[in-house]
Amino acid sequence: MTQLSSNDTHSKLIGYLLWILGFTGAHRFYFGKPVTGTIWFFTFGLLGIGWLIDLFLIPSMDRQADFRFRAGPTNYTLAWVLLTFLGVFGVHRMYMGKWFTGLVYLFTGGLFLLGVLYDFWTLNDQITQKHARRFNG
């Protein structure tokens, strides 16, 4: 019998949905791989080859993300969906309780898109740190 992970931080389904746009590296950013996500973005998924290979790697990327990141009250998947589709409006930051920077993003187009890029690189770690602060003190 298989045990369910109590630290299921990321969704394979969302990973596969982002994989459809995988030549942009969206699924790699989601699973906490910003360096290769950036490479996929600039090379169109390694000219499609890496994108196709990732179809089979998503389950292992999901397991690695579940192992690496800490579960808690802020849902990683929801934060990523908000960042992906509403990042320039700062909705993902407001969801995480970062109201000031959320409003800054709202009035500056995601701090002129540089803030959104920063969040693509660091969102998983931001949420994990928030969970660690909540549980440790």
Tell me, yes or no, if the pTM score tops 0.85.
yes
Domain borders along the chain are 8-68, 70-137
Report pLDDT for 7: 84
pLDDT per residue over 49-91, tens digit each?
999 999 999 999 999 999 999 999 999 999 999 999 999 999 9
Between CA 59 and CA 9 the distance in angstroms is 13
C-alpha torsion angle, residues 11, 119, 84, 136 (rounded to 10): 40
Burial annotation 9-34 (CB, 10 A radius, 16+ → b, else e): bbbbebbbbbbeebbbbbbbbbbbbb
Report pLDDT for 136: 79
